[in-house]
Amino acid sequence: MSQAGPREIVTPFRPIPLEVPEGMKPNEFFNSAENLNDLVNNNGLLLNDEHLLLYRKALGHSTEFDCSIIYNTSQTILNPLGRPVRRSQVSDTVKHVWNRMNQIIIDYMLEQYPDPAQHLILAGEASLDATWPLTSPGVPSIRMLHNHFIVFPMEQLKNAKLADVNNPNLTDGGQHSLFQAYMRDVYQEFFDKALQLKILKPASEDDARIGLTGYPQGLPSWEISGGAAALRDVQFWKEYDEVLKGFIDFYRTFFSQVSSRNSPILPDVYYPKEVESVLLFNNDFLKTAKKVRDRCIVDAKYANAIRWQPAFKQLIYRNDSGKLIVTISQNSIGNAITELLGVVVNRTPDADAYSKLQPKLIARLLEVRRRLVEADLGDGIATEFWDKE
């Protein structure tokens, strides 16, 4: 058996045919309506009246299966700092359609890749924190809420080199994370007391961990009772949102204490009773806030790296025994959602290599699109690579 540890793979991509205007930084340009227009016209697969755009990942994580849905507000909200960056910021109408799209795409992935020993499947989202200045290094290139659907062949991961465990992007494990290193017990206690879950049930670390990579490490995780069928139940998606709300309460409450000693409970938390009784009366929680606050005062670089608003990665993935698992983690600068599962992707421009893999990848994406259109979840988009239907 291969040695357990995070893996680093090389994924070729087709260079994006865009020139960044002189005087603009790439991450500034990528937030523009002009760039999002290119995303639709060169990579767009499907669009609906809710402004949810299914697209091929231009800078992909995997050439097996890789796509995203973005809440494309680039034409309606020109201020990049004013765009929704979390599911909790979108209307119930949009969320309802988004959840149905998620369910159909995940169902397709599980149908096409039924064996967990052969393929690693994940679907999830990372927050794009709108509190960063646009010029900060590592700022997400598209400042709008979007999620990912990715499949990795396990053979590719087995044959990949072991990643450096000190890679700064692999920051979600217990040995690195602020939450896990100092507040693990109170973090778990808060989730247990605040969340009233029926479909999601707590998963052990062993159940949550992918054996090949050894990740995730030390994160709160839940098994989806009923597996794929549960994703057709609206109650699952409500519970998926409850996990996010609990995380947001924990994160915002912690950094309110970092910012101002003995700060009162925030007025708009989702679980005020548990915030007061579990978090604001816990010595480990408040000691850790003091530790961070004291360092912020004397270490300008450290303080500048703090993400004061909730920054998260939340995903659904399949474990080694075929169970579907939900987990959530704070997000650090620069890391990708795949690294939550111990997969570091080295994306390399190589048009020739990508062109050899492109036909099969696109065929899978077009089949997903067909199912979404059939379910009345949008209309196809034509590009130079595929037709509208």
Q: Domain for residue 386, yes or no?
A: no
Question: What are the backbone angles phi and psi of residue 377, rounded to the nearest 5°?
Answer: -110, 15
Q: Domain for residue 28, yes or no?
A: yes
pLDDT value at position 138?
A: 52
pLDDT value at position 232?
A: 97
Would you state the structure tokens that stand for residue 151, as one six-digit string? 């499949």
Q: Which residue has the tokens 């005062």?
A: 297
Percent over 70 (pLDDT), the chain: 92
pLDDT value at position 298?
A: 97
Domain that holds residue 349: 7-380
Domain count, the chain: 1
Binning pLDDT at 50, 70 and 90, where does residue 128 land?
low
pLDDT value at position 39?
A: 82
Average pLDDT over the chain, rounded to whole? 89
Question: What are the backbone angles phi and psi of residue 77, rounded to the nearest 5°?
Answer: -130, 95
Binning pLDDT at 50, 70 and 90, where does residue 362 land?
very high
Q: Domain for residue 1, yes or no?
A: no
pLDDT value at position 132?
A: 59
Q: Domain for residue 388, yes or no?
A: no
Give the residue-averaged pLDDT of 282-311: 89
Q: Domain for residue 251, yes or no?
A: yes
pLDDT value at position 2?
A: 72
Binning pLDDT at 50, 70 and 90, where does residue 117 land?
very high
The SS3 assignment for 362 reads helix
pLDDT value at position 175?
A: 42
pLDDT value at position 173?
A: 45
Bridge-based pairing state of the strands 7-13 and 343-349: parallel
Q: Domain for residue 243, yes or no?
A: yes
- Cα–Cα distances (Å) from 180 to 6, 25, 44, 62, 259, in that order, read 19, 35, 39, 29, 20
Q: Which residue has the tokens 């969320």?
A: 95
The Cα–Cα gap between 26 and 239 comes to 37
In the predicted model, is pLDDT for residue 65 greater than 60?
yes
For residue range 28-58, list pLDDT tens digits in order: 777 777 777 878 888 999 999 999 999 998 8
Binning pLDDT at 50, 70 and 90, where does residue 218 land?
confident
In the predicted model, is pLDDT for residue 131 greater than 70?
no
In the predicted model, is pLDDT for residue 139 greater than 50?
yes
In the predicted model, is pLDDT for residue 136 greater than 70?
no
Would you state the structure tokens that stand for residue 112, as one six-digit string? 């096409």
Residue 307 in contact with residue 129, Cβ under 8 Å? Answer: yes
For residue range 248-288, list pLDDT tens digits in order: 999 999 999 999 999 999 999 999 999 999 999 999 999 99
For residue range 321-340, list pLDDT tens digits in order: 999 999 998 876 556 789 88
Would you state the structure tokens that stand for residue 274, as one six-digit string? 């548990």
pLDDT value at position 275?
A: 98
pLDDT value at position 219?
A: 85
Give the residue-averaged pLDDT of 131-143: 58
Give the residue-averaged pLDDT of 240-244: 96
- Cα–Cα distances (Å) from 349 to 67, 94, 149, 158, 317, in that order, read 18, 35, 21, 23, 28
Positive/negative CA dihedral, 275, 86, 124, 137? negative
Q: Domain for residue 2, yes or no?
A: no
Q: Which of 101-115, 199-213, 290-304 has the lowest mean pLDDT?
A: 290-304
Percent over 90 (pLDDT), the chain: 65
Q: Domain for residue 389, yes or no?
A: no
> In sequence order, what are the residues at sequence separation of 6 or more whose Cβ sits closer than 8 angstroms to the Cβ of residue 257?
263, 280, 285, 286, 289, 293
